[in-house]
Structure formats: C-alpha cells, structure tokens
A and B are shown apart, each in its own frame.
Chain A
Amino acid sequence: KAGVTQTPRYLIKTRGQQVTLSCSPISGHRSVSWYQQTPGQGLQFLFEYFSETQRNKGNFPGRFSGRQFSNSRSEMNVSTLELGDSALYLCASSLGTDPSTDTQYFGPGTRLTVL
C-alpha cells in the first residue's frame, strides 16, 4: 500500500500571498488530520476531516482552512501569509472510525518558508 503523500515538499512564499497544500491519504482511510510544526510551538493540531466534513478544529485563525474531497484527498489553504506561518505542515491519515484504536500514518510534510 502506498503511504501518505504530500505535495509540494518545499514551498517558498512571500508575506501576503496564499498557499495550498495537498495530502493524499492511504487508500481506504477516510480521516485526514493536519498539523503544524514549528521550533517554538512544536506540533499543533490544525483540523481533521472525515468523509468530506470538518470533524474537529484546533486553535488557529480563520486564515487556515481546509477541505476534503470525495476520494479522501485533502487540501489546506493559508491565506494572507505571515512570517510566523513558516513551518513544517504534516498531514496524517487514519481509518477514522475510533480514535482509541486508529493509528495515524503521517506524510513526509511540506516545508513552507514565508519571506
């Protein structure tokens, strides 16, 4: 089975621009979660999508949004980029049926640099 893939792997943007990141989950997985990792804040939960619906959301401003398609692929969008948005963005997929037994499988991440 192919693992979780994320595109692009690296991205450089300037302040004020917007960016869209893509995540393709493992086949059969219906849940996709997004995380932000920075040296200062560590790993933080952004949001989770299950069957095209946002099921849970972390404490991030509305500039961060996402969506999920019928094939479970997910995208996240960040508008009006700020320098502090520079981070590694990770997505993880799982079956999504039971968080007490669901293993999350992480993608390699997209490293976003905002100049």
Chain B
Amino acid sequence: KNEVEQSPQNLTAQEGEFITINCSYSVGISALHWLQQHPGGGIVSLFMLSSGKKKHGRLIATINIQEKHSSLHITASHPRDSAVYICAASTLPGGATNKLIFGTGTLLAVQP
C-alpha cells in the first residue's frame, strides 16, 4: 500500500461542475501539498497546509489531520483546469528537512 493514496485516478467533468479530488496518507506529516502539473511537465504548487482549510480563487483545499485525509475542490470548473493534480506529503523524518512523498496523481479533463 502506498503511503499517499489519491482518488480518483482519472476524472472527466463538464465545464461548470464542482470537482473533488481526495488524498489519504499513512505517514506522519509536517504539511500536505497540492500540486498541479500541465502537459509538458511544469509543476506548480497550489497549496501547502498543515491544518484546516485554504482557498485561492476557485480552488479550496482542506485537511483533516485526525483522519489523515485531504481534499482539493474546484468550483465552477473550466477547461483550463485540465491538468494532473498531485498530492504530496512532507514527511517527519526528524529535523527541518524537505522530503516529499507523492500520490499517483489525478488526471482531470474538463470538457466545454
């Protein structure tokens, strides 16, 4: 079993729909990241959160530390949201180090 699991693996939505991508993790974390990767490889960090909820435009990320679960929501989805969304856990190896463990990604296609 992977330490960071994402679902669904693939998601097709119609423009305007509300989208939810889920992430569960089994490791101790200092933070949970949501990343976006467009075709061609570039990765953009969308959110980093260690508790509660963050919002940026149409994107909302939540985390439940007790349940070891995070969700990424996209409201009023648009074709330009089509990308791979990846959750990643900053693990707690002890000390101030950066090590990310990644989920397998969710390929989102938003159709007009």
Tell me the minimal C-beta distance from B85 to chain A in angstroms. Answer: 12
Q: Enumerate chain B interface residues (CB-CB to A < 8 A).
A: 30-31, 33, 35, 40-45, 48, 50, 86, 88, 90, 93, 95-105
State the majority secondary structure of interface residues on A: strand
For A110, give the chain B residue with the smallest CB separation: B41
Tell me the minimal C-beta distance from A85 to chain B in angstroms. Answer: 17
- Asked if A100 and B99 sit within 8 Å, CB to CB, the answer is no
- Total interface residues on A, CB under 8 Å, equals 31
* A42–B9 alpha-carbon span in the complex (Å): 12
Q: Enumerate chain A interface residues (CB-CB to B < 8 A).
A: 31, 33, 35, 37, 42-45, 48, 50, 55-56, 58, 88, 90, 92, 94, 96-106, 108-109, 111
Given contacts A48-B97, A102-B98, are A43 and B86 in contact (CB under 8 A)? yes
